[in-house]
Amino acid sequence: MSALAQTTPETAPLWQDLFLEQFASSQAGFELFEFERSAGDFRYHQFVCRFQDAYGRACTTFGRSQDRKLAAVKCAAEAIERTVMTGFFKKHPRQFAELQNSNGWAVHSFTENAEQAATLELVERHLLLKSWLLHGWNGFDLVRKASTGEIDLYFLKAIQQSEEYAAGLVIAKSPIYAGVSIGQCIGASSRTSSYYFWENGIFEAIDRLVMLNGQNIELRNEASSWILCESKRLLETPFDFSQLRSRGDQFVETLPRVKVTGFDLSMRFNGLPVSAAFAQSEELIPLFPSRDLSSEFYTYIAPILDLHGVPRSAHILGHPIL
């Protein structure tokens, strides 16, 4: 998910216009495409940006919203986020390549907004992973089910929550595929009955089904992407919906402090306030590959799992948190 989506609606329309103008005029090498998508009566705008990252790899980012301009802003901001992220990791590699992913990164209009969005994404993955690793699908409370066209949607709240935030999964099922598509979201725990709490998850879950439209995910030159491989497995493997139930369980935890590094990007945008942020914590469960863990990496992550009471026999391989 693009963490930007959590706070972008609060940005001024003028900033959005200027940001998009600067992105279009000064960010060479980015190709931007626009689509109108629909699933039943649910219609939205989708922007796709393609470019090469600092390693020369092909990269694609997305922006979705029922507001056209906001969809474009999300897509462009995520593209900038990925370029900053890969440039940072190229200069400052993390101890393990498994952790060089976009978890905990965000781009926004002002530093404080970027830092909040980056922290939220880090917390989101932690709460979802902890719920899964401790309980499997029993770690998610089925809040409700809905349909749009032929796509069924299942709204699941992670039973692990912070004092302020809750995380959720949206599972989308289309009759065209044996499996499912999954989206993730986070928001105030007091707002889980609101559409806006689930919005990011809805877009992520539905978008893959609408884009593919009956085709399978082709790995081709991206076979090394564990997220894409796991998305393909989830989409093509029959899913047991009897695992999803209303549970009512809830475990609230106090989160540790998060270290956030900010990056002022205004020079790239002719003085327009644009910032990136990278949130990190050695006490929160990081997003990690769902398969093929090296023994060295497992040795690294084991103390973090121990801190949260995750047994060594936990559901580590094949986790659906992407």
For residue range 41-83, list pLDDT tens digits in order. 999 999 999 999 888 888 999 999 999 999 999 999 999 999 9
Rg, C-alpha atoms of the chain: 19
- What global pTM score does this model have? 0.93
| Res 223: pLDDT | 61
Which SS3 state, helix, strand or coil, does residue 144 take? Answer: strand
3-state secondary structure 237-293: CCCCHHHCECCCCCEEECCCCCEEEEEECHHHHCCCCCEEEEEECCCCCCCCCCCCC
Which region holds residue 291: left if phi is over 0, alpha if psi is between -120 and 50, else beta?
Answer: beta
| Res 222: pLDDT | 65
Query: Using a CB cutoff of 8 Å and minimum separation of 24, what contacts does 134-137 make?
Result: 134/160, 134/308, 134/309, 134/310, 134/314, 135/159, 136/243, 136/315, 137/243, 137/244
Q: Which residue has the tokens 């599972």?
A: 171
Query: Which amino acid is located at 169 in the chain?
Result: L
| Res 138: pLDDT | 96
d(CA 71, CA 58): 21
CA distances from 101 to 37, 79, 264, 291 (A): 28, 14, 20, 15
Q: Say how many residues make up the chain.
A: 322
Q: Which residues contact 89 (CB under 8 A, 6 or more apart)?
A: 54, 100
> Which of the residues in the chain have pLDDT under 70?
1-11, 27, 221-223
| Res 27: pLDDT | 66
Which SS3 state, helix, strand or coil, does residue 238 take? Answer: coil
Q: Which residue has the tokens 């926004």?
A: 108
d(CA 13, CA 300): 44
| Res 11: pLDDT | 61
- Given a contact cutoff of 8 angstroms between Cβ atoms, the answer to whether 186 and 278 are in contact is no
